[in-house]
Amino acid sequence: MPSDPLGPDGTVRLRSYQPLADRMYFSGSCPACERGVTVGIEAAVDLMGSVEATIGQLGRRLVCRGCGGRIGAMQVMADSRTPETREREGRLPETVGVRVRE
Ligand SMILES: [Zn+2]
């Protein structure tokens, strides 16, 4: 039986974003140093180890590579590149500026 699209924390599970992986990605910023951070949708699944993880859980696991601060909240952003550029460069962005807290 498929699970609810919302996880226990009330935010959307990564599984729901997977069909959008070619044109959307997750974006956020470090509250401490204001560094911008990005995580591709498939990269987020890899980081969390499950498509059932939520975007809320993702944000809480992410740590700024610049200062070690907690990121906290991620939002969904549209990949604004043209289809031709996407084709040439592949999915963007890779995981930038963050690591996952153990
Ligand atoms: Zn930071």
pTM, whole model, 2 decimals? 0.86
- 55 CA → ligand 1 middle, Å: 19
pLDDT at residue 92 in the model = 63
d(CA 16, CA 44): 12
Mean model confidence pLDDT for the chain = 90
- 71 CA → ligand 1 middle, Å: 8
What residues flank ion ligand 1 with Cβ within 5 A? 30, 32-33, 35, 64, 66-67, 69
pLDDT tens-digit readout, 17-39: 999 988 899 999 999 999 999 99
| Average pLDDT of span 9-13 | 97
